[in-house]
């Protein structure tokens, strides 16, 4: 299904007592309705996209309702920080695009598997070592013992013994993955909860610091598969850890769509409307060539945002509601453009309620130009179109192509079109 879509559910989801055989997380996030007239049980999608198990037998794969060819690339260039998870797992495909919010989920799952490994005990192997001592405890080498005793002028035995060690290939791969994570999060301050995540990484690293690093040939996909296949039965918990470690050390992350990959993680849900708004605001804030132009978040109050009381003068008891446009573009102290972001299909004419809202914002901010911004539905859509004027206010429709093959070029192209409205 796609966002906000309604689809039929199998009737065996209804139990004999009339209740639904659905996970609690699903019943709290989605609307379930039985349409008696058509004898159909439907589930109505919400703002979430992702892979969503609904019970032990069925799952929803929810895609975007607007064209978004590469969600991971959008996420990697968006200030969006936290992806919501539910406890039911899904196997995710890997991708070379490392969207931080998704990589955080992978990292947390990797650290969770290390908690289990440490609780159960690390893998240890016996390693043969050769020693020299007057008090041997292993197998003596007579010839070398005779030579060493004669050479040093005192009796010393050369012997071999087997000692248990945690310096195994499995633990070496884990140590390398932890070092990669430390290096990554030391410079990733925009990641949510990066301080606590770094603390967990360092805590685990202390238990592997005496383990050596693996050879490069031991961290390839084929070598890792062989290592996992040889795990002792009582240490099968290492399998999940090593699969995630392979993605980490190879610079990979996970893809939100698709299934059947190495990474078995909690199901991830993201809100594309939130992502789209934050992404566009971040693009404009970083791409404008005029240093006097500032791009502010109208959902936040000053000084970091540009929200204002809706009424200039308010005569009713209480506090005035706020005007909260998504994007406020100022040139020094003058508002040049108000943009309200709408993550939905655009019609020939925007919804009347959306037009009324943006005109209200224009009046409050004394803005000469306003825009309703939508995701583009095709590559040929024009980024900025003048819809018309209402009094002294020019109303525009904006379209941003989230499926552009060259996303950085699309960002520049779109920003230039918007910047032209502020001159």
C-alpha 116: how far from its chain's center? 23
Q: Scanning the structure block, which residue is given the tokens 């990554």?
A: 184
| Contact between residue 52 and residue 59 where contact means Cβ atoms under 8 Å apart | yes
| Contact between residue 150 and residue 267 where contact means Cβ atoms under 8 Å apart | no
**Same domain membership, residue 173 and residue 240:** yes
pTM of the model: 0.84
Per-residue DSSP letter, 321? P
* Tokens found for residue 356: 């009324």
Classified as helix, coil or strand, 339 is strand
Give the domain range for residue 389. 288-422
Rounded (5°) CA angle 82-204-219: 85
Adjacent-strand bridge partners of 394:
369, 389
The b/e string for 173-205 (b: 16+ C-beta within 10 A; e otherwise) is: bbbbbbbbbeebbeebeebeebeebbebbeebb
* Tokens found for residue 134: 């007057």
Task: Assess whether the previous peptide bond of 68 is cis (omega < 30° from 0).
Answer: no
pLDDT digits (tens, 9 = 90+) for 125-164: 777 777 788 888 778 888 887 888 887 788 888 877 767 7
**Same domain membership, residue 243 and residue 143:** no
Give the pLDDT score at 138.
75
Identify the H or E element spanning 132: strand 125-133
Average pLDDT of the segment spanning 395-414 = 93
Give the pLDDT score at 125.
78
Please report whether residue 64 resides in a domain. Answer: no
**Same domain membership, residue 210 and residue 145:** no
CATH number of domain containing 315: 3.40.1350
152 Cβ contact partners less than 8 Å away, ≥ 6 residues apart = none
pLDDT digits (tens, 9 = 90+) for 259-311: 888 899 999 999 999 999 999 999 999 999 888 999 999 999 988 899 999 99
* Tokens found for residue 349: 């004419």
Please report whether residue 23 resides in a domain. Answer: no
Please report whether residue 30 resides in a domain. Answer: no
pLDDT digits (tens, 9 = 90+) for 78-112: 887 788 898 889 999 999 999 999 999 999 999 99
Q: Which of 135, 165, 195 is the last residue of a domain?
A: 165
**Same domain membership, residue 341 and residue 204:** no
Report d(CA 157, CA 339) in Å as an integer: 84
If one counts the domains in the chain, the total is 3
């Amino acid at each position: 299904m796609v966002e906000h879509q309604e689809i039929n559910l199998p009737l065996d989801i209804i139990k004999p007592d009339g209740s639904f055989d659905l996970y609690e997380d699903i019943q709290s996030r989605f609307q379930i309705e039985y349409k008696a007239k058509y004898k159909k049980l439907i589930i109505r999608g919400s703002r979430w996209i992702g892979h969503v198990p609904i019970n032990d037998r069925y799952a929803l794969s929810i895609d975007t309702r607007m064209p978004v060819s590469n969600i991971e690339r959008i996420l990697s260039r968006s200030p969006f920080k936290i992806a919501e998870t539910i406890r039911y797992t899904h196997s995710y495909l890997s991708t070379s695009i490392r969207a931080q919010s998704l990589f955080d989920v992978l990292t947390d799952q990797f650290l969770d598997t290390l908690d289990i490994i440490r609780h159960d005990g690390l893998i240890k192997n016996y390693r043969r070592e050769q020693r020299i001592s007057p008090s041997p405890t292993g197998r003596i080498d007579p010839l070398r013992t005779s030579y060493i005793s004669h050479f040093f002028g005192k009796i010393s035995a050369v012997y071999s013994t087997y000692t248990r060690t945690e310096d195994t290939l499995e633990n070496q791969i884990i140590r390398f993955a932890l070092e990669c994570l430390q290096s990554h999060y030391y410079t990733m301050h925009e990641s949510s909860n990066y301080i606590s995540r770094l603390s967990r990484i360092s805590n685990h690293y202390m238990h592997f610091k005496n383990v050596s690093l693996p050879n490069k040939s031991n961290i390839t996909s084929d070598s890792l598969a062989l290592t996992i296949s040889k795990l002792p039965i009582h240490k099968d918990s290492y399998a999940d850890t090593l699969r995630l470690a392979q993605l980490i050390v190879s610079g990979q992350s996970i893809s939100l769509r698709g299934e059947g990959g190495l990474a078995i993680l909690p199901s991830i849900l993201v809100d594309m409307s939130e992502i789209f708004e934050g992404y566009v605001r971040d693009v404009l804030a970083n791409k404008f060539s005029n240093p006097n132009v500032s791009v502010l978040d109208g959902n936040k109050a000053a000084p970091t945002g540009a929200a204002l009381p809706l009424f200039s003068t308010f005569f009713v008891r209480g506090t005035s509601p706020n005007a909260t446009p998504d994007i406020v573009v100022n040139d020094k102290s003058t508002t040049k453009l108000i943009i309200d972001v709408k993550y939905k299909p655009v019609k020939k004419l925007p919804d009347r309620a959306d037009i009324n809202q943006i005109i209200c914002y224009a009046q409050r901010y004394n803005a000469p130009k306003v825009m309703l911004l939508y995701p583009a539905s095709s590559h040929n859509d024009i980024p900025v179109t003048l819809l018309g004027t209402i009094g002294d206010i020019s109303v525009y429709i904006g379209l941003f192509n989230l499926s552009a093959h060259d996303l950085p070029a699309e960002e520049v192209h779109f920003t230039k079109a918007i910047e032209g409205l502020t001159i």
